[in-house]
Amino acid sequence: MEKSGWIIYHDGEISDQIKEKEIIGEIDQKLLRLDELKSMWLSYSEKKQLVLYIDGLGWHQLKASLPQCPYFSTFNTACALSSWPPITNTALASMLSGADASVHQIKSHADRSLKLSTIFDEYPGRCVYIEGERTILYTQQSALLNPRDEKDSDQAVLSCMRENLDYDFIFVHIHGYDDVCHHYSPQSRQAIDKLIWLDGQLSQLLSDVKGMIWLISDHGQHANGDKGEHGSFCEADMLVPIGLRVNENE
Ligand SMILES: [Zn+2]
Ligand SMILES: [Zn+2]
């Protein structure tokens, strides 16, 4: 196999350098990367944009569930590459800063202070970032809203999204699917049902929204017994969807 044109993982870092004996994995480098999202969002800033960030939704998980998710099926979706490591903090930092982990230095769950300028600093319109009950990363400019609801955080996040649809750039982090995948495994009935529920809720809540709606994720999950986990160099964790749907008549 031709090695150039592939991303190589060696010595704890992803790079395109080739050191044969340290190679433990390779993934097609021509895939979109999460750190490319920021420049894409900036290039469409004359439009209203809503980003639906569903935590833990790998490419293969979405593909397997699409026949039961009519709303997500309307998105034009491509396979993209997560960050290394494929964990929430690192991937979120890559999306928001447009840099990879060698630059933003968010490499573990303990790293929470993002020092680089983010999409919220640079976007020319009004931004809102709707997060669950717990803040993942601290950024320079706070566009953050944390709805608090002990019972069902996704419901609270979706209600908060609905109340803030007048912003120009709306970034919504939906956590519950990742939690269900950890608990029951990504191929479980419970995980599929959670995605079907989200599909129905979003379809209803966003039926009258004009502009560009993005469907993205930070990483996937692989099964470990009857649980799910992520953070490994494998397709299940590393491949994520980047989807786009344009609602016209602005
Ligand atoms: Zn995550
Ligand atoms: Zn997780």
pLDDT along the chain (250 residues), means of 10: 44 48 54 93 96 97 96 95 93 95 91 92 94 80 68 86 95 96 97 98 96 97 96 90 85
Q: Which pLDDT value is given to residue 8?
A: 53
CA of 172 relative to ligand 1 center, distance in Å: 13
Please name which ligand lies nearest the alpha carbon of 87: 1
List of domains in the chain: 1-29 (no CATH), 31-247 (3.40.720.10)
CA of 236 to the centre of ligand 1 (A): 13
The pTM for the full model equals 0.89
Ligand nearest to the CA of 57: 1
How much distance in Å is there from the Cα of 216 to the middle of ligand 1? 11
Please give the distance, rounded to the nearest whole angstrom, from the Cα atom of residue 125 to the centre of ligand 2. Answer: 31
Neighbour-count burial of 32, counting CB atoms closer than 10 A to its CB (0-12 exposed, 13-18 middle, 19+ buried)? middle
Nearest to 127 by CA among 34, 219, 38, 250: 38
- Residue 22 confidence (pLDDT): 41
**H/E element holding 222?**
strand 222-224
pLDDT for residue 2: 38
